[in-house]
Amino acid sequence: AGACPGAYSHNFYGGGLAGLTAKLDYLDNLGVTAIYLNPVFFSPSNHGYDTTDFLQIDSSMGTQAEFEAFATAAHARGMHIILDGVFNHTSSDSIYFDRYGRYSQIGACESQSSPYRSWYYFQPVTAGTGPCVGDDGTPGGATYTSWFGYDSLPKLNSANPAVRALIWDSAESVAVHWLQWADGWRLDVGGDVDPGVTADPTNLYWEGFRAAVKTAKPDAYIVGEEWGNPSSWILGGEWDATMNYQLGTALLSFWRDETLTDNDHTTGSAAGPLSPLTPAQLNERLLNLQERYPAEAFAAMLNLLDSHDTNRALFLLDENADEPETQPGLYQNPTYDWSDAITRLKGTALLQMTLPGAPTIYYGDAVGLVGP
């Protein structure tokens, strides 16, 4: 909470790096051996996927000293730290783009002469109608490419040598710098940066990233975000593994009685709907996944049921999960009976914990946090 009652703030009790350090014994007792952190770098948002500066810890989470203390304490308990690398885009309010002119250095949006101009993709528009200076210096003469159409997330030109130097292709790069304390990287929307060796063998972004990371720390873990078939990235030259949404969909589907669709599980989507499976169908799905992936990657997969990008597993397993639109107050009832969904979640977790790969628990699931 902020200093004034009702004031907006990113800060919450126990939600920073110092709070996480204080809970390491609890996590250790659970048997946790690795902690994957959502973005910790400086950002104007609460989610952190719009980086302002890749080399600064966000002040809402703590300080550099607190991050280093957390890393030291985690390593003392035999735990590993995986950082979230958001390298497809930055914040429009970053030191590199500076759409709002907040920084002393000249950002890509502010001037066609900015050293960061070639880091992004600009398109000309009628003078005065765009958010950025045009290539000829015309005020408001340009717009830009952004991730998924969100203008707060201008897309980086990953082929630009200076961008690669910042992220991985230099001794002072982001990827190498943070491995002084971390043990690996999770790569946000990794397929949007480089579609994989079988899709485009000329795009060597993740090959270069892997070489830099493995040189700095040979046992570092590189896991990419990919909701569909990740085979193109896990053939040994790019990622070690992916977030195994395909497995999560199969396990959740097995414990559902009826098909459920939501924003993340729809017909035609990479993850697909949660449609009930018989034991034989589940077995076939699991064998298909095993046959699809190299053995080394299959054993290293980040096996998850839910994440910061999805509804919680307990909600997805509830029989009324498709009802909030027709019954908007359904889950606001403190006496709502979650017992059936909890039983199903226990069964799902049993499979998750005993299959090959690295079972991963989204924070709060262990104590039954719910909510769409």
Q: What is the pLDDT of residues 131-174, one digit of tens each?
A: 999 999 999 999 999 999 999 999 999 999 999 999 999 999 99
Average pLDDT of the chain is: 94
For 52-107, the pLDDT digits (tens) are 999 999 999 999 999 999 999 999 999 999 999 999 999 999 999 999 999 999 99
| Whether this model's pTM surpasses 0.75 | yes
- How confident is the model over 279-326, as pLDDT tens digits? 999 999 999 999 999 999 999 999 999 999 999 999 999 999 888 767
Largest CA distance in the chain: 64
Question: Distance between CA atoms of 296 and 222, rounded to whole angstroms?
Answer: 13
Integer Cα distance of 21 and 72 in angstroms: 9
Please give the Cα distance from 70 to 80 (Å, whole number).
Answer: 11
Which regions of the chain carry the CATH code 3.20.20.80? 17-89+157-367
Phi, psi for residue 109 in degrees, rounded to 5: -75, -25
Q: What is the pLDDT of residues 175-234, one digit of tens each?
A: 999 999 999 999 999 999 999 999 999 999 999 999 999 999 999 999 999 999 999 999
H-type alpha helices, 13-160? 17-22, 24-30, 64-76
Q: Which residues are catalytic?
A: 188, 225
pLDDT at 326: 72
Q: What's the confidence (pLDDT) of residue 334?
A: 85
Residue 12 pLDDT? 59
Q: Which of 3.40.50.11890, 3.20.20.70, 3.20.20.80, 3.40.50.300 is the CATH number of 17-89+157-367? A: 3.20.20.80
